[in-house]
Amino acid sequence: MSRNSRRDFLKNAALLGVATLPMSLVRLSFAKSGDDFTFAYISDSHIQHIKGNQFVRNWDMGLKRAVAEANLLVPKPDFVVYGGDLAQLGTKAELDHGAEIMSALKYKTHYVMGEHDYYLDLGAYWEKLFGPQWHSFDHKGVHFIVLNSVLTHHHWTYERWPTAERRMAEMSGLDNPNGSPFMVGEKQREWLKNDLAKVPKSTPIVVFSHSPLQKIFKGWNFWTDDAEQVQAILKPFQRVSVIYGHVHQIQYNQIGNISFHSVMATAWPWPYPQSYALAESHLPVLTVPMNRADPFFERDATGWQFMNVKTGRVDLTYQLPNNTTRTVAFNAKTGKPGDIAYQEKTKRIPPQDHY
């Protein structure tokens, strides 16, 4: 980010009464102004154990910084969401260390399961530390839902691998052909239907998942296999936002009444896939006309963002330490999110093909 744009942002942030932070700050003001509130979002720290009490320092530091800055937020968020992939290989050492860092947070935190947390013991230890793999709660007029979207086929999960470590190793690779597509699964979809049965259709719905509840790029599991079925359950509601981690980059999209937004990682950026044109894709419009992350630069496209959900739609301002500030806001005219600087053709960054 240039010094000027950063200064402008800080000035604007001061006007809004918010502080900068390496995570998402979500502002909600659906109801009476007295009910306005914010929540913060931290994701994808990938705490990695080396041996003894040694951990990969860079990933530790990303999370520590996020926690420290969240504690300094003004206004104070009502709660924090952790978006998944707290651990790298799902071990007790990693989850304990991650939990210890997170315990410094002064706020109630809701945890989302990532595949790097799950595929060693299928979430058993994670549940002990952080609670149920899926749940919902109401807060000041908004219905929030936490899903485990990284489940997969019974056979792949239970029968295919000689050890739990091998299963985790196969699922934790970004482009491993032995991996398996993520899914929410029938049992959880039934739970979701029942959960939503009691919620008025005008209530704003905000869903937290780890993988996108849309199909973007199967080769890297930027994908949830039963996405359409989950979307169908959400369809009757007037304002739905899905916020997900996993992709370690900015993505946004609109499918019907559902706005989709990713949050960035505190660990590292993923570059964009070699070509979305090559991907099996079901998106009505490919909404990824943005700067590429540079995989050789550890902090490119990591950062934090502010979210404003005043209208019931999520608007995000991304703060990228080494890139230009980006704002993705819901455009009432087009009925989908747009990137204010990059959506216009003249300002679009030309495709880069060197990855």
For residue 202, how many other CB atoms are within 10 A of its CB?
A: 10
User: Is there binding between residue 300 and Fe ion (CB under 5 A)?
Assistant: no
User: Is there binding between residue 110 and Fe ion (CB under 5 A)?
Assistant: no
Across 83-109, b (16+ Cβ under 10 Å) vs e yields bbbbbbbbbebbbebbbebbeebeeeb
Phi, psi for 267 (deg, rounded to 5): -95, -65
With CB under 5 A as the contact rule, which of the stretches 9-17, 57-65, 184-192, 246-254 interacts with Fe ion?
246-254
- Is the Cα torsion angle 332, 333, 337, 341 positive or negative in sign? negative
How far apart are CB 88 and Fe ion at their closest, in Å?
Answer: 9
Which one, 246 or 336, has the nearer CB to Fe ion?
246
- Is the Cα torsion angle 37, 29, 258, 352 positive or negative in sign? negative
Picking from 258, 226, 259, 245, the residue whose alpha carbon sits closest to that of residue 328 is 259
For residues 80 and 39, the answer to whether their CB atoms sit within 8 Å is: yes
Which one, 31 or 174, has the nearer CB to Fe ion?
174
Per CB under 5 A, contacts with Fe ion among 44-63 are: 44
How far apart are CB 227 and Fe ion at their closest, in Å?
Answer: 16
How far apart are CB 222 and Fe ion at their closest, in Å?
Answer: 10
How far apart are CB 62 and Fe ion at their closest, in Å?
Answer: 12
Which one, 18 or 95, has the nearer CB to Fe ion?
95
Phi-psi map region of 84: left, alpha, beta (phi>0 left; psi -120 to 50 alpha): left
How far apart are CB 171 and Fe ion at their closest, in Å?
Answer: 9
Helix (H) or strand (E) run with residue 80 in it: strand 79-82
Which one, 28 or 113, has the nearer CB to Fe ion?
113
With CB under 5 A as the contact rule, which of the stretches 78-86, 162-170, 290-298, 340-348 interacts with Fe ion?
78-86
Q: Which two tokens stand for residue 179?
A: 């991996």
Q: Indicate which single residue of 110, 167, 239, 246 sits in contact with Fe ion (rule: CB under 5 A).
A: 246
User: Is there binding between residue 85 and Fe ion (CB under 5 A)?
Assistant: yes
How far apart are CB 115 and Fe ion at their closest, in Å?
Answer: 5
Q: Indicate which single residue of 62, 114, 123, 185 sits in contact with Fe ion (rule: CB under 5 A).
A: 114
How far apart are CB 11 and Fe ion at their closest, in Å?
Answer: 33
Q: Which two tokens stand for residue 314?
A: 């999520």
Which one, 67 or 267, has the nearer CB to Fe ion?
267
Picking from 169, 173, 183, 174, the residue whose alpha carbon sits closest to that of residue 212 is 183
Binding site for Fe ion (CB under 5 A): 44, 85, 114-115, 246
